[in-house]
């Protein structure tokens, strides 16, 4: 099937049941235990940073755009269901949450990029939504620019901490999708096509970020529009939010 979920939009399980045409809402079973199959497709509900309802607490997390994910307890790679999950011809709709409450955020159709023959089975998902710009996995924070010749490909290096959809979502839940510099709202200007769209800016200098840095989405990130995000990075280190606000006021 080809269900029209929108990347970056939130859905309760009830919303999902309605979209896929379940006439009677399931009251339990596999729909509530991580992943299940429906009419040949899989629906994966991934907890990040919190234990599942069965008490298992796997280290599901993002590395850049890729989701590191663990299947159910005691799974083995040879099992038919795991073979279906890594089968490139089977669609996998993936949803995430970072609290024990609904809703989930839809992050796209997953494709198994890599898997380990561990138990539980570990799968690295990449995403294949070719016809949609995904606001959750949007490449936003340029750490350095490089000169290039006309006709060549520009190489952009991206800060993976800001591309962590879980951290991004927590930031937006706290501040909303309004630019924290100029108060611009994409949705007010462009309507439904920009619902949930905003860039996320890292306040901490990127030179201070290391592998063991523990990101605080409320303290370290701010939602900003694309224009203000570009202007924040017009110098190194980047302008602060207050500095850019001051520049706007003075220019006005």
Closest CA to 203 of 232, 227, 228: 232
Q: Does 208 have pLDDT greater than 60?
A: yes
Given this model, what pLDDT does residue 143 score? 40
Q: Would you state the pLDDT for residue 205?
A: 66
pTM for the complete prediction?
0.62
Q: Please, what sign has the CA dihedral across residues 241, 243, 248, 249?
A: positive
Mean pLDDT to the nearest integer, 79-90: 95
pLDDT above 70 (res 35): yes
> Which domains, from first to last, does the chain contain?
10-127 (2.30.280), 165-251 (no CATH)
> What span, in angstroms and rounded, lies between the C-alpha atoms of 56 and 53?
7
Average pLDDT rounded to a whole number, residues 211-216: 67
Whether 158 has a pLDDT exceeding 50, the answer reads no
Cα three-residue angle 139-240-175, rounded to 5 degrees: 65
Percent of the chain with pLDDT strictly greater than 90: 40
User: Which pLDDT belongs to residue 30?
Assistant: 87
Residue 97: what are its φ and ψ, rounded to 5°? -150, 155
Whole-angstrom distance, CA of residue 205 vs CA of residue 180 = 18
């Amino acid at each position: 099937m080809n269900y029209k979920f929108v990347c970056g939009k939130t859905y309760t399980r009830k919303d999902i049941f309605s979209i896929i045409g379940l006439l009677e809402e399931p009251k339990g079973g596999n729909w509530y235990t991580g992943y299940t199959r429906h009419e040949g497709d899989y629906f994966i509900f991934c907890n990040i940073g919190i234990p599942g309802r069965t008490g298992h607490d796997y280290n599901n997390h993002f590395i850049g755009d890729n989701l590191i994910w663990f299947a159910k307890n005691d799974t083995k790679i040879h099992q038919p269901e795991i073979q279906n999950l890594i089968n490139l011809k089977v669609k996998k709709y993936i949803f995430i949450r970072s609290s024990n409450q609904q809703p989930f955020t839809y992050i796209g159709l997953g494709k198994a990029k890599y898997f380990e023959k561990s138990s539980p089975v570990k799968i690295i998902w990449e995403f294949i939504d070719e016809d949609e710009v995904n606001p959750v996995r949007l490449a936003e924070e340029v750490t350095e620019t490089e000169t290039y010749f006309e006709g060549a490909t520009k190489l952009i290096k991206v800060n993976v901490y800001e591309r962590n959809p879980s951290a991004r979502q927590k930031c937006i839940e706290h501040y909303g999708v309004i630019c924290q510099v100029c108060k611009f709202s994409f949705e007010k200007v462009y309507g439904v096509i920009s619902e949930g769209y905003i860039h996320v800016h890292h306040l901490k200098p990127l030179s201070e970020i290391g592998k063991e840095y523990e990101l605080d989405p409320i303290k370290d990130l701010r939602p900003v529009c694309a224009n203000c995000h570009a202007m924040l990075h017009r110098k190194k280190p980047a302008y602060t939010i207050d500095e850019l606000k001051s520049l706007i006021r003075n220019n006005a």
